[in-house]
Amino acid sequence: MQRVLIFGATSAIAAEVAVLHAARGDRLHLVGRDPARLAAVVARCEALGATVTSSVADFDALEANAALVAHAVETLTEGAPLDTVLIAHGALGDQLASERDFAVADAILHTNLLSVVSLVLPLVNRLEAQRAGRLGVITSVAGDRGRPRNYTYGAAKGGLGLYLQGVRTRVRPAGVSVTTLKLGPVDTPMTRDHTKHPLFGKPKGVAAGIVAAMDAGADEVYVPGVWRLIMPIVRNMPEAVIQKLAFLSGR
């Protein structure tokens, strides 16, 4: 049995991750923003026989996140080691609005970068002190290349990926794994207004990929795996070429 802590547990993907761990008999503590949606995820996991505790939190309240982490860890572990942590919260925001109003840009960067760092910091210190454990953080393929349709969100995710590289190298000698989970677009409520194409992942499949990557202690993983083939091409393509390709340079 693992002790598994999930932040952003009410997202469609994180909920499926929680269910997978519940089915394996792991003990869970789930943290989310929406009480009703959180209760629904807890109920799904308990129906599988898992022991589940939960707490409601606003991850954008940065000054409260260290205490939030401490409470969640102690509730879950009761002094035992913490095995696995997934940080899954985020928000796409409104790209066009972020180009006109700094407050919108600030909110996107705040949620997708600063609030995540404010959770990673106390969590990774805890794992490093116990000299074991796994931390997984959901980022995005949007962080690999700045494109007009989502570059504010992408900048936050790209910065987060760089931060996690440093954290990963720092804590490896302590036996702690830090997995950067670079997700392609997934068919969830967050992308309800997006035109779907064959490369869109499904929450259950993506969740299975996340659990497998974290079990393996992987460093950086593209989920679904097809993006591992696509993104090096996009990332290394000359900017002059991207500017001529409507499917990359368009809105």
DSSP 33: S
Reply yes or no on whether the pLDDT at 152 is more than 90.
yes
> What is the Cα–Cα distance from 71 to 148, expressed in whole angstroms?
40
pLDDT tens, position by position, 53-75: 999 999 999 999 999 999 999 99
> What is the Cα–Cα distance from 146 to 141, expressed in whole angstroms?
10
pLDDT tens, position by position, 26-52: 999 999 999 999 999 999 999 999 999
pLDDT of 78 reads 92
pLDDT tens, position by position, 216-251: 999 999 999 999 999 999 999 998 888 887 777 777
**Which of these, 71, 178, 197, lies nearest to 135 by C-alpha position?**
178
> What is the Cα–Cα distance from 219 to 207, expressed in whole angstroms?
17
pLDDT tens, position by position, 160-209: 999 999 999 999 999 999 999 999 988 777 666 666 566 777 999 999 99
Tell me the residue length of the chain: 251
Q: How many domains does the chain have?
A: 1
DSSP 146: -
Domain of 75 in residue numbering reads as 3-249
Distances (CA, A) of 167 to 117, 176, 182: 10, 10, 16
Helix H segments across 24-172?
A: 35-46, 65-77, 95-100, 102-109, 115-130, 151-171
Query: When comparing pLDDT for 246 and 117, which is higher?
Result: 117
Average pLDDT for residues 118-137, to the nearest whole number? Answer: 98
pLDDT of 36 reads 98
pLDDT tens, position by position, 63-112: 999 999 999 999 999 999 999 999 999 999 999 999 999 999 999 999 99
